[in-house]
């Protein structure tokens, strides 16, 4: 099936702590899409921006963390109302420090991939975790 909507590129980081847990951010209840649901840090790639630069920027904006990108983990196709968003997901290692979340999120938590299955996740994250992380 061919999409009638434009494609958009987004990037996400699976950031592990020393205990093998991943950083999740809870979207603000004021968010237009997926209010109150949990997601990996990241966001849209700007026109002309390299996807790795976009991911480093988005992680810093959303968490205050500097990270080192380690490897590509996988991708997801997300049907939104007006765009088909392609999510590229990278594993990242955080520099020392604690996350300080942006106003677009309400909370942060560290969860194992297995524990994520009992958390209210953004729609594409659960299938992604089951496919690539568990």
**What residue numbers bound the domain in which 43 lies?**
7-133
Q: According to DSSP H, which parts of 7-112 are helical?
A: 51-63
User: What pLDDT score was predicted for residue 89?
Assistant: 97
Tokens 């590129």 label which residue?
A: 9
Domain membership flag for residue 112:
yes
Considering only CA atoms, give the Rg of the chain: 14
Note the pLDDT tens digit of each residue in 31-54.
988 999 999 999 999 999 999 999
12-44 per-residue burial string, b: 16 or more CB within 10 A, e: under 16: bbbbbeeeebbbbbbbbeebeebeebbbbbbbe
Whole-model pTM: value is 0.93
Domain membership flag for residue 2:
no
User: What pLDDT score was predicted for residue 86?
Assistant: 96
Domain membership flag for residue 99:
yes
What angle is formed at CA 81 by the lines to CA 123 and CA 10, rounded to 5 degrees?
60
User: What pLDDT score was predicted for residue 112?
Assistant: 95
Domain count, the chain: 1
User: What pLDDT score was predicted for residue 80?
Assistant: 87
Instruction: Please report, for the domain that includes residue 127, its CATH number.
Output: 3.90.79.10
User: What pLDDT score was predicted for residue 3?
Assistant: 64
User: What pLDDT score was predicted for residue 1?
Assistant: 57
The residue ranges of the chain whose pLDDT is under 50 are none
Domain membership flag for residue 58:
yes
């Amino acid at each position: 099936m061919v999409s009638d909507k434009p494609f958009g590129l987004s990037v996400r980081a699976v950031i592990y702590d020393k205990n093998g847990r991943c950083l999740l951010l809870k979207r603000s209840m004021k968010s237009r899409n997926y209010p109150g649901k949990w997601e990996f840090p990241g966001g849209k790639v700007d026109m002309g921006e390299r996807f790795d630069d976009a991911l480093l920027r988005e992680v810093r904006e959303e968490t205050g963390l500097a990270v080192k990108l380690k490897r590509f983990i996988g991708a997801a196709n997300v049907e939104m109302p007006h765009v088909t968003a392609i999510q590229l997901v990278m594993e990242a290692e955080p520099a020392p420090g604690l996350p300080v979340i942006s106003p677009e999120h309400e909370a942060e938590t560290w969860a194992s991939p297995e524990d994520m299955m009992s958390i209210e996740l953004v729609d594409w994250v659960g299938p992604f975790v089951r496919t690539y992380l568990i």
